[in-house]
Amino acid sequence: MTQAAAPHRELGLTDAEYEKIVGRLGREPNALELAVFSLMWSEHCAYKHSRKLLRELPTEGPRVLMGPGENAGVVDLRDGLAIAFKVESHNHPSAIEPFQGAATGVGGILRDIFAVGARPIAVLDSLRFGELDSTRPRFLFDGAVSGIGHYGNSVGVPTVGGEVYFEAPYEHNCLVNAMCVGIAPRERLIRSAAAGVGNLVVLLGARTGRDGIGGASVLASTELGEGDEKRPSVQIGDPFEESKLLECCLELLERRALRALQDLGAAGLSSSSSEMASKGGVGIDLDVSRVPLREPRMEPFEIMISESQERMLCVVEPARLDEVLGICKRWEVRATEIGRVTEGDSLRVFDGDELRGEMPVAALVDDSPLYDLRPERPTEPLYPAPEPSLAGDDARESLLALIGSSNLSSRCPLFQQYDSVVQSRTVRRPEESDAAVLQLAPDGGRGAIAVSIDGNGRRVACDPYAGALEAVLESASNLACVGGKPLGLTNCLNFGNPERPHIAWQLSEAVRGLADGCRGLGVPVVGGNVSLYNEGPEGPIYPTPIVGMVGTLPDPTRAGRLGFSCEGDAVAICGEFAPHLPGGELWKLRGEALPDDLPQVDPAEIRGAQDAVREAVRAGELSSAHDIAEGGFLVAVADCCLAGEIGAALDIGPSDDPLRHLFGEGPGGFVVSGPREALERLAERTPLDVFGTVGGHSLEVAIAGTSFSVELEELRAAHGRLAPAFA
């Protein structure tokens, strides 16, 4: 047998891993067992190159009800309510078939939320594509956005925010990260651990087909190459089936009819059953002949590894089976008893009376190989400099170029494709504020939550530690601008091939930055996802840790806005802000190469500024608040003018480097507006400089003895220049 033909190698297992499987079984695995092991030991399911690193992240806190290891993280809102949230990737499937890849990414993250007993109330997306003037990114972008809108709108969960950026390193390997947030009464929460020997294992939802066989679990564990034909591996979603499944599961949990509930995601029945057994310290017997099939003559191994969508696995006491089946029938959800919880530590797979596979649960889940990374800082640049699109040092021209660029132009036509107000909870729609705000009750009487999602791959590529720490800080700053206090964080780590020393260095440093940022802000990590091997023929993507954060605010009517609103208000910059041009958006437009580091910041100092802004927003003292992010200070001011449809006059004073002051980037700064006396009170808590006034129909800027003015209409035209591309 040639090396290429070895079955375990074709399934992505190394020779050493295969020998370890043989040792755990005490024999050669058969075809079904080998298929199950190959998925359970894949990077996507086993996290074999990242699990050790993830132990560095702080995961405990007084509000944490469920942390990493469950379908979703859950934090306590008090007053009997809990919030569940998680972010996951569907990068490789979306790079193969963007519509279904993105759609089923939304479907999967929704199931993670109601698998813990929470009703999904919001979706946010973090998307990355190659430059829009290239054919492939255009195709991927159009398909992914359509898939997100189709699934979210159809299932009735609002898409309330997100981000999309365009950079050359994502040309062949786009990123589609979806975050979902759900709400639940605490007593309805449920874990996924199988419990009770003799209890029944019941499969809920759609029929099982060949779509998705070896899909997410295999695609997310290998690099994408030219000419790959993997379309049959991409799952196919049905949002209307999901909607029925959601309501059925929530009613079953409301009636306390289930002992455990688990989503069938990557690796299908293989992962859901073995992970439930592992968490419960039990065994499980499954009979694949009972699984409802969409296609005839499916082999047992195909049934075990299919990733067909809209399916859940639950554990039911025998005495309550008829009740469960009755509820499922009323919701028109298929429910089939396919197994039972057993003593011991075995996942046994039967085809009727015939035993087709027997594997130790611990070997599948707990004893998967874990590898030590070999990080090595690169000595040569990993990414080429971008093509320049802006020359010269003219500040006015730079402002118009920045706000019209692909990364900073208006996303309004994109968000208009998503329903952002279904369920009647949305207080702040996309582009109205830095974070989404949702009231907990339709009448607003129980307070609100704020949600943000952030990440900047280019800055992480410059300095993985500082860039990842900045992502945490920016997400918390976005919450502060609407009055939100962070409760917990979820993340999705999108990186290249970790077996390469320079990628291992990026990943290790980024996790260290995330950990230090979370500890500095006192925010626990309650869950997340890792997506590795994101590389195309021309090299790796930018290292892109995505951070999703949830916070709470007491009064939704006082949620902050980013737009200027009151003629005569003072405009100020506040916080610990030290602008830096290298690595920012203006740096990109000028075609400059990435720097090899970023300025280091102290999270404790930035936390103080966030606290001050948050309290001022909650007290109703500020008319607007907007954090300074991509494009720097003047782009943030332009955002405020455009959102409020009102101008401003700024006198910034002397400067030794006007472009750096106007367009430099870094964490910790805020543009705020309000009555002068309110800003004076804010200045008692954090550094603050007043330098302008709201009013008029233009943005007027004076700095270092020079001045310029841009009419709002010209700003709006530049900001909307790419609107047709997003429609």
Active site residues: 44, 90
The CA distances from residue 175 to 56, 226, 359, 423, 451, in Å, are 25, 17, 34, 28, 20
Instruction: Please list the helix, strand and coil fractions of the chain in percent, rounded to the nearest 5, in that order.
Output: 35, 25, 40
The torsion defined by the Cα of 146, 149, 155 and 159, in degrees rounded to 10, comes to: 160
- Could you tell me whether strands 570-575 and 669-674 are parallel, antiparallel, or unpaired per DSSP bridges? antiparallel
Residue 23: how many CA atoms within 13 Å on its side-chain side? 9
Name the token pair of 498.
């970790």
| CB 575 within 8 Å of CB 604 | no
The torsion defined by the Cα of 589, 632, 495 and 131, in degrees rounded to 10, comes to: -30
From CA 385, how far away is CA 41, in angstroms rounded?
37
From CA 689, how far away is CA 655, in angstroms rounded?
14
Counting Cβ atoms within 10 Å, is residue 499 exposed (0-12), middle (13-18) or buried (19+)? Answer: middle
DSSP state of 70: B
Counting Cβ atoms within 10 Å, is residue 333 exposed (0-12), middle (13-18) or buried (19+)? Answer: buried
Report the run of H or E that residue 531 belongs to, with start and end. strand 525-531
Name the token pair of 477.
């700053």
Residue 198, number of CB atoms within 10 A of its CB: 10
From CA 230, how far away is CA 243, in angstroms rounded?
28
Residues across the chain: 727
Angle (deg, nearest 10), helices 712-719 and 632-644: 100
Name the token pair of 529.
């996802």
Q: Compute the Cα dihedral for 653, 657, 659, 663 and give only its sign.
A: negative
